[in-house]
Structures are given as structure tokens and as C-alpha cells.
Homo-oligomer: A and B are copies of this chain.
Amino acid sequence: MSIPRLMLTAALLGLSPAAFAQGQPPREVPARSLPVPGDVSPQVQRLIAAPLRTGWNTPPTTPEGWRQLAETGAAATRQALPGLKDRLKVDVEPGEMGGVKVFRVTPKEIRPENRNRLLIHIHGGCYVLNPGEAGLPEAIFMAGFGGYRVISVDYRMPPEAYFPAALDDVLAVWKAALRDNDPKRMAVFGSSAGGALTLEMVLRAKAEGLPLPAAIAPGTPMSDVTGVGDSFQTNALVDNVLVAVDGFCHAATQFYAKGHDLKDPLLSPIHGDVTGFPPTILTTGTRDLLLSNTVRMHRKLRNAGVEAALQVFEGQSHAHYYRDDTAPESREAFSEIAGFFDKHLAK
């Protein structure tokens, strides 16, 4: 892919012209062969060595196509769940909160200081993928590595329901959770679209005058889906998960948005007013296509006076930190988030 093509497709896709400075010369970078770094665990080396995601640039073009793509991915993830639950000593029970499907993800041993605490998890998948149990791996990592009770929201997705249905469902679960739980003892987390929904949920809760969670952990959030962010260029074809700005994830987001303005803070929370946000920890990797989406959100929070921490993992592409529960870096990432929550949640 050459950037001229990218800039052309940017126009075709409706990506923001604000993505690029006008009248400034680009940097010409020759073709390169990037070796797998040796300074990460063998598990992360294998994640980095994996080829680009199959079909990254051939997204479905029909609702049924999207449903099939989601189901194919979900079937693969479901196969991995028994082993994952077993290794991380976590139980999963389906349930419902506020009329929304959820899963209760409970460690066999809840840490004593977490007995009265509750985390809400919002899964990723570009607003379209990971239905049902397929949304659970990150919740299981958090429950297992952090020793917290987790509610994972199985929000509605296209083609069943479009923007802002996912966010409506998250808010419904939050309101239901508030009935039985002190918000000072609750945190919200999720990655990718789940990271964006975590930020959008706080924006919406603020607007509705609802109590906010005591802390949040948006991982590599899709905080700007208008194409703005330098790592959309620098990490294009370097990140093997999202691969490029004009790939399947942007197509999925457009499918969810259904014509709604992508600049809306409830789709691109980088444009929201983050004043008064709870303490926030953000996670990304050096090869992440959303490295810029993550660090820009971190700077925005800091500039608004919000306590915000950033962790960046060597060599990792988008959301690699919850791909392999045996990688020491995965335990590290979730232990860091768990520690941040422990610092900011009441007991």
C-alpha cells in the first residue's frame, strides 16, 4: 500500500482531511523487512511473527456477510474458552442486567479487598464482532489476573441494532449496577471498540448526571475513528491485527454508525469533554495501529487535569496484551490495571 492510495481511500471513506498537515512534505520511507524483536517473551514473539490478519482488506459488504464473519470468529474463540477459564480459575455464568445480556465472570478466589468491588467489562470487535461468549477473553484475563468480579456486557450489535444501541446497552447495565453497588467501588474497562465504549459511557453518564465509575481502563481505544492519528500511517502494515486505517475495522465501524457522523464524541470520544473523568489507565503497544489514538487520549485527559496513566508494550500490535494468557506480558498488563483499580476503588 502506498500513501497516495491511502489518501485517496481516505477521501473515499470520508476520513477527515484534518488527518494531515497541508503543504508539508511527507517522509519517504523505503521498503523494509522488520525482524521479530528478541526482547519480548516467546509467546509475544509468536504473536508478532503472525502474518497480517486474513481478510483485513476484504471486509464483508452485506449484513449477512458481517454476521457470518462475526460467527466464524466467535466459533474459534468459543473453542479456546474452556482452557482459558480453567487456567485462569474463573467461572462464567450468563445473566441479564437492565434488560441486557451479560456474563458474570467470577474468579474462584476473589481477593479479600475486592469482595465488595465490581468491574464492568465492554468487549472489543469494531462494534460488530465478538458476540456472546466470544467477547469474554479480556474479562477472564481481568478476573483471573486481578482477582475481581467482572460483569461483561453482551451488547447488541449490527445487523441486529446500530449506533447508539451498544452504548445504550452499556448504560442500561451501568444503571442496573448502580442499584446494588456503590460507584466508588466500581470500575469500567475494555479494549478497542470496548475502550471507546468505556470512554463514551463516561461521556454519556456525565451528560445524564449519573454517578461515574471510580476508575476506568480503556485499552487501545478507538478514540478517533475519523482517520486522524499518525500511527495510522507509521504502523500501517506493521500492526498485524488491524493492519491499516482503511481495513475491516473501519468498515465495521461505518456499518455500526449507519451514516451517523463519525466525529460525534459518542463514536470518536477524542472529541468529547473529558473534564471530571475518573482516574484512567490506558494500554497500547509500540506496533499498535491505535498507538496515536491511545497516546492522544492520554494527553487529552492529562491536559484536562485527569489522573491518567499510560502503559505501552514493546512490539505489540493492537490489543496483543490479551491474546495469550501464558505470556508474562499479559499478566503484567492486567496486574498493572488491577493495581490501578485497587488504588482508586473504595473497599
Contacts and interface: CB of A to CB of B under 8 A. Distances in A.
Interface of A: 1-4, 7, 17-22, 24-40, 42, 45-46, 48-49, 51, 228-231, 233-238, 240, 286-287, 291-292, 295-296, 298-299, 302-303, 309-315, 332, 336
Contacts of A26: 33-36
A45 B27 contact: no
A25 B52 CA distance: 12
Contacts of A42: 21
Number of copies: 2
17 contacts: A20-B35, A22-B38, A24-B49, A25-B36, A27-B237, A27-B238, A28-B33, A28-B34, A39-B230, A40-B230, A234-B287, A286-B291, A292-B314, A292-B315, A296-B314, A302-B336, A312-B312
Contact of A233 (B20, B22, B37, B295): B37
Given A3-B32, A39-B230, A291-B286, A332 B314 contact: no
Contacts of A299: 311, 313-314, 332
A70 B45 CA distance: 40
Given A299-B311, A312-B295, A313-B299, A37 B286 contact: no
B233 A32 contact: yes
A45 B21 CA distance: 7
Given A295-B312, A314-B296, A36 B21 contact: yes
Contacts of A313: 295, 299
Contacts of A310: 309-312
B38 A19 contact: yes
Given A34-B230, A309-B310, 5 more contacts: A27-B238, A37-B233, A230-B286, A234-B238, A298-B312
A34 B29 contact: yes
A291 B303 CA distance: 22
B30 A31 contact: yes
A122 B336 CA distance: 31
Q: Give 9 nearest A-B pairs by CB, closest first.
A: A24-B36, A24-B49, A37-B230, A21-B36, A3-B33, A20-B35, A295-B312, A230-B315, A21-B45
A7 B205 CA distance: 52
A234 B39 contact: no
Nearest to A240: B27
A96 to B, nearest CB: 38
